[in-house]
Amino acid sequence: MTANAYYIHPIIALVAKDFDVSPSGIGLVPALNQIALALGIFLLLPLGDRISNRKLATIFAAGQFIGLIVMMLANDFRVFLAGSTFLGFSTITPYLLPAYASKRVAPERLGRVTATLTTGVIAGILVARVGAGWIGEHLGWRTVYIIAAVVMGAITLMLPRIMDERERTGADRPVGNHFALVMSVFPLIRQHPEILLSGTIQGISFGIFIAVWLSLGLYLPGPEMGYGTDTVGYLAGVSLINLVTTPLLGGWADRTGPRKARLIIAATHFCGVCLLGPLGHSLWLLLIPILLMNVVGPLIDISSRMTFLGLSPGVRTRLMTVYIVLMFVGGGLASWAATTVYEHAGWHGTVLLALAMSGTLLTLSALAFWFGPERRRAGDAGN
């Protein structure tokens, strides 16, 4: 389900050529998809603290199916853009699942379970990007969305049969109408202000991921490098290593503490971004920073979610709402910024953008660790 937003990455040059739009124009597709997802998360995800997650997941999956059908049939760029935007607005189901699962596991297993869910997302994204690159190059980009629509239709039919209908209740279960439920997010932010910092950190991290891969989708098939879109998909195949490393790193985050783990990973991620410029002239050398960033990137998300998924079950979905909204606002802004920067400054412009974002990410992670409860507890223990 998450993969639907990532098919565009390796085939972005093909879609732009077919619709005769510029890099900044095609950048509106992932940008509006991410912004619409942020809006959908804000308006619809809080319902997960009240309504059956199984019912919501099925409805939202059906919406994704409709969006993919529109994209598949579009003969006008504006229709394709509208379909992608509606697809983004409907992509709520994957973000119901962490809170859904967190209500069913012990707190000490939260990092490992969150890592397992993240691994599943990574697997879907991996298949999406590798498969879309090859299919787009050899069978055309529309075939990518035909296959995606068939898969999404099957998932929509399967969800009611595999998800548990039972929901844990509690005194903190929200009451009131839908508007009151959505607005109840803001008092929760005041009670748990760190959610803004965790969400911003993940928004920047996700934005770097989007910026780099959209730019690679334009850079590698372009005249400077001259590869096909299938090569972009093959390069994305380095994410295969995440299927092994992410669960292991999730267990390490449980032992280390989320804020300390996030700081270490942010520093490692910054080193990877620094290598994009000097190694960007060679496809093989690009594997080094791409591999490093892919290994450590998911743990920024895992450790950030761990800072709030251990709180009361009745507030987790709404806190997840804030977190995911900030994440996808970051992804949407980075989508537009990356393709616009690439249009005017090429690959090296994208690298400078990623460096600025990664430096900010490292700074915020350091601040979160320094002023966070883990650091305060360590100081109290030292005294």
- Average pLDDT (190-197) is 88
**Is residue 238 over pLDDT 80?**
no
233 within domain boundaries: yes
pLDDT tens, position by position, 241-266: 777 787 777 788 878 888 888 999 99
The contacts of residue 61 (CB under 8 Å, 6+ apart) are 1, 90, 93, 152, 155, 156, 159
pLDDT at residue 148 greater than cutoff 60: yes
In a domain, 172, yes or no: no
Residue 344 domain flag: yes
Would you say residue 157 lies in a domain? yes
Q: How many domains, in total, are found in the chain?
A: 1
Q: Is residue 372 part of a domain?
A: yes
Question: Does 232 reside within a domain?
Answer: yes
Asked whether residue 169 is assigned to any structural domain, the reply reads no
For the domain that residue 216 is a member of, what is the CATH number?
Answer: 1.20.1250.20
Provide the residue range defining the domain that includes 238: 2-164+177-382
Residue 171 in any domain: the answer is: no
Positions of E strands within 220-325: none
Confidence of residue 74 (pLDDT cuts 50, 70, 90): very high
CB 128 within 8 A of CB 7: yes
